[in-house]
Amino acid sequence: MAPMSIRRAERDLNRFRQIVRGKIKKDLRKYMSHGEMIGRQGKRYVSIPLPQIDLPQFRYGAKEGGGVGQGDGDVGDPIASGDGEQGMGEAGSEPGSHVLEVDITLEELAQILGEELQLPNIEPKGKKNIISQKDRYSSIRRTGPDSLRHFKRTYREALRRQISAGDYNPDDPVIVPIHEDMRYRSWKETLMPESNAVIIYMMDVSGSMGSEQKELVRITAFWIETWLRSQYKEIDMRYIVHDAAAKEVDQETFYHIREGGGTKISSAYKLCNRLIDERYPAAEWNIYPFHFSDGDNWGGGDTRECIDLLRKELLPKVNLFCYGQVRSLYGSGRFAHDLEEYLGNEDDLVISEIADRDDIYDSIKDFLGKGK
């Protein structure tokens, strides 16, 4: 049997993607769910979009009927939140394949992201940044205080020794660690950029930004944050929303607020500039403003003002200024185009267009690919 060509699955995948994007077979979209691969709530979000099309069949509702599980707990104890499939769902028809799931930490996630997108490590700007040594308990040594003893590793060493020495009796699996088996947690010196960073998120919340657009922003912002967190010790986050006027809000509000009215981007840039001047002096902070909008702005006058603000005030202070333009129901505005035209050769400005979820990947690469 010859191994099949990769193009086989790619073809089906392309077809599927086209359906998901609503380019073909639009009637299937009503069966589509926008899953996320790693959902998190609270302050941080992880999200790999995982669209799924579930063809209708005669079946029981997921929440009906219940099922059988295994583990500890008393009657009445909750086992998992209602939206997940639990226990014995439909028996799969996959021939004997199994999937092991592994938890990964945010740090590892950032690493994967870095590798996947081939992101360069950030070079903090200027000489004022000292690289500091930081001790982290991520290593193992043979000596150490009892309080740092690593039980699992010690056990493993003892088990390994007893097996190889032939002392291990499976019927009476007593493992006695001796001095040589002891393992202790220990620190490793890691070099961390000492400097602090601030991310200033700005978003257009005028009428034309719908929930899908905010979702795009949320997902993009999550990945940016995950990456920057892996690069800096401390990160401050500020959130600015604007329509015709700008104001600072908390994170919750940032993603859920919906205002109406027109758009005056310069209002946000002014507020951002003031924030930097008051709280984050450019000499001490690595500054990352991110601005998301659908590209509609009031008449040319305001865009002119934005460009001036960027050129004279913001760009000299920041590490990187990122502008992400999402496509709204009413299409995309000219703002990205204007920035490109007037500031296209500025090194510290990144402009990226995010039409749909599939573009997030490329945008993150645009934003973070400069290593600044």
Residue 79 is a binding residue for another protein (CB under 8 A): yes
Residue 12 is a binding residue for another protein (CB under 8 A): yes
- Cα–Cα distances in angstroms (integers) from residue 331 to residues 147, 209, 263, in the given order: 61, 10, 15
CA 96 to chain CA centroid, Å, is 33
Residue 175 is a binding residue for another protein (CB under 8 A): no
Residue 6 is a binding residue for another protein (CB under 8 A): yes
Span of 78-86, 190-198, 283-291, 357-365 interacting with another protein by CB under 8 A: 78-86
Residue 101 is a binding residue for another protein (CB under 8 A): yes
Single residue of 42, 56, 299, 344 touching another protein by CB under 8 A: 56
Of 19 and 322, nearer to another protein (C-beta) is 19
Residue 329 is a binding residue for another protein (CB under 8 A): no
What residues numbered 102-131 form the site for another protein, per CB under 8 A?
A: 102, 104, 109, 112, 116
CB 48 to another protein: min, Å = 5
258 Cβ neighbours under 8 A, 6+ residues apart = 205, 209
Closest CA to 192 of 140, 109, 121: 121
CB 76 to another protein: min, Å = 6
CB 168 to another protein: min, Å = 8
Span of 80-88, 120-128, 177-185, 332-340 interacting with another protein by CB under 8 A: 80-88
81 Cβ neighbours under 8 A, 6+ residues apart = none
Span of 98-106, 139-147, 242-250, 307-315 interacting with another protein by CB under 8 A: 98-106
Give the separation between CA 57 and CA 52, rounded to whole angstroms: 15
| 291, burial (CB in 10 Å: exposed 0-12, middle 13-18, buried 19+) | buried
Using only C-alpha atoms, the chain has a radius of gyration, in whole angstroms, of 26
Residue 347 is a binding residue for another protein (CB under 8 A): no
Span of 44-52, 223-231, 233-241, 363-371 interacting with another protein by CB under 8 A: 44-52
Q: What residues does 130 pair with on adjacent strands? A: none
The angle formed by the CA atoms of residues 312, 245 and 353, to the nearest 5 degrees, is: 65
Residue count at the site for another protein (CB under 8 A)? 82
Of 25 and 188, nearer to another protein (C-beta) is 25
Residue 299 is a binding residue for another protein (CB under 8 A): no
Of 7 and 127, nearer to another protein (C-beta) is 7
Give the separation between CA 325 and CA 328, rounded to whole angstroms: 9
- Cα–Cα distances in angstroms (integers) from residue 255 to residues 3, 129, 152, 250, 284, in the given order: 47, 33, 43, 9, 29
Tokens linked to 245: 């006027």
Residue 39 is a binding residue for another protein (CB under 8 A): no
Single residue of 22, 25, 188, 358 touching another protein by CB under 8 A: 25
Give the separation between CA 188 and CA 169, rounded to whole angstroms: 37
